[in-house]
Chains A and B, each alone.
Chain A
Amino acid sequence: MNPAAPANEGRWPDPIAQALWRLGVEREDFAQLTGALGASAKETIFAQGTLKLHHYRPLTDELYRVPVLVVTSLVNQPTILDLAPGQSIVENLLRKGFDVYLIEWGRPRAEHQDLALEDYVLDRIPACIARVREDCGEPDVSIIGYCIGGLLATMYAALHSDGPLKNLVCMAVPVNSDGLESLKTWMGSHFDEESVIDLYGNVPADLVQNALRMLRPFGRLAGAMNLLNNLDNPEFLQSNLRLGKWEADNIAFPAAAFRQMVNDFLRGNKLIRGTWTIGGRRVDASSVRVPFVHLLAEDDHITPSASSRDLVRLIGSVDKREIIIKGGHVGLVAGRGAEKRMWPALEAWLAERSV
């Protein structure tokens, strides 16, 4: 039975409240329906410019010895990894006994146009790792990197092979730009990245988001139809609206980092060729010797298999593995299937290497 219809109490009728009531959802508006994203309890233990390093409150009485540092993408909000209770890879790690830290890169402003990959890989990630070690008192740290965050983490690992890294987990990390056919064509010789940078400074989030949407031009239409087809399923509705809320809130690409991604990664494919230099040092993925796993999504249209499957081959570790999981780029970490497929695979791999 539906609960009583929402009372108007002399106010104008609220069509959203009425619609939600008809769907059997006892909420007043969509904001309430999705709740706040990224709401797991945490405290900021380090800040540098727009960067914030968060430490999550543990949810178990006993922790694995090795802490986990999550390195997120530069252009998406990290809330994708902590959407809501039950739809959060961070919460799942906490429930399984991991001590979780997360880097939130923040929104670059005009004054951050010169932030380059060097700043992330050689300065900010090492600073965060130092702070994590100081905070937890452990000498080594595992890193989980998602999408571009995974690329940064891989570069860090390659350039700090004698560093405190214990394990490296990558999720949907693109390394071979030949596998990103569309992006490579669009940002090929026709594309003038300097005119975009001159005009905007940092590359607006909308521009990056629209390019990603064009990778699956009818994806949004199908998503809307799928939503309509599942209107009688409040869980689906909530999950979908949360993802929509996250997707609508993106971050601009710092100009200098964008320039490097277009020239060195997309056009030059320098990681695969072994010619990418960061701060004058060559990024050689074969110098990564720590236990490594790459979690890939079978139907990832943003980081298709052709762009990501080479990573495991490039890495020099003896203990290395690739796990392909059903789902898409976002579904890999936050979809309704992630809980059944990806999270258990991640826990099983990481737990025995975190003692």
Chain B
Amino acid sequence: MSERNLNYPSFFGMWREWIVRSEQQWSESMSKLLKDEATAGVLSRQLDEARMMQKMFAEMMQSYLATVNLPSRLDLQWLDERMGRVEDGLGAVQAQLVQLRDAVVKARRATPDDAGVIRLPRTRRAPTERPR
């Protein structure tokens, strides 16, 4: 056992090992229970209620956070949306630059090497076809 091995035989190590080995069985039993129509119905109703509560709480917190001059989750979502738009815009510019570069090479205004375009022979053969 190496010096760095923190898992010398210990009660906790054996306990963890037992959990790993038993997990599949526990998960299967729990899944069976969750698969039951009645359980699924109850869970679904509870989730609906939780979602509505979360919505009400979020709306309440939003006005409170605005009062204390702090950003709410919604503000962060707006920021995320704006950053997403910027990211998409950058992606579009990047793609257009690549197309422009390829057009320049195609028009023989630059060599592929100068433009950083990699054009490799597409002649590779499958391992089974290659001469031994």
Contacts and interface: CB of A to CB of B under 8 A. Distances in A.
A62 B119 CA distance: 10
Given A181-B35, A228-B16, A232-B2, A186 B43 contact: yes
Interface string A53-73: 100011011111100000000
B118 A135 contact: no
A352 interface: yes
A107 interface: yes
Interface string A322-352: 0000000000000000000000000010011
Nearest to A108: B84
A309 B127 CA distance: 29
Contact of A99 (B16, B43, B92, B122): B122
A304 B94 CA distance: 39
A126 interface: no
A191 B42 CA distance: 10
B19 A217 contact: no
Q: Is the interface of B mostly helix, strand, loop or mixed?
A: helix
A352 B130 CA distance: 11
B113 interface: no
A44 B43 contact: no
Contacts, number: 148
Interface residues of A, number: 62
Interface in A197-239: 199, 214-219, 221-222, 225-226, 228-232
B67 interface: no
Interface residues of B, number: 51
Nearest to A195: B48
Given A63-B124, A64-B124, A182-B35, A231 B7 contact: yes
Interface string B22-36: 010011001100111
Given A24-B4, A43-B98, A58 B91 contact: no
A136 B119 CA distance: 8
Contacts of B41: 190
A110 B36 CA distance: 34
B91 A47 contact: yes
B88 interface: yes
Interface in A6-24: 22-24
A221 B81 contact: no
Nearest to A352: B126
Contact of B7 (A58, A181, A232): A232
Interface of B: 2-7, 13, 16-17, 19-20, 23, 26-27, 30-31, 34-37, 40-41, 43-45, 48, 51, 55, 81, 84-85, 87-88, 91-92, 94-95, 98-99, 102, 118, 120-129
Interface of A: 2, 22-24, 43-47, 49-50, 52-53, 57-58, 60-65, 97, 99, 106-107, 109-110, 135-136, 138, 181-182, 185-186, 188, 190-192, 195-196, 199, 214-219, 221-222, 225-226, 228-232, 301, 348, 351-352, 354-355
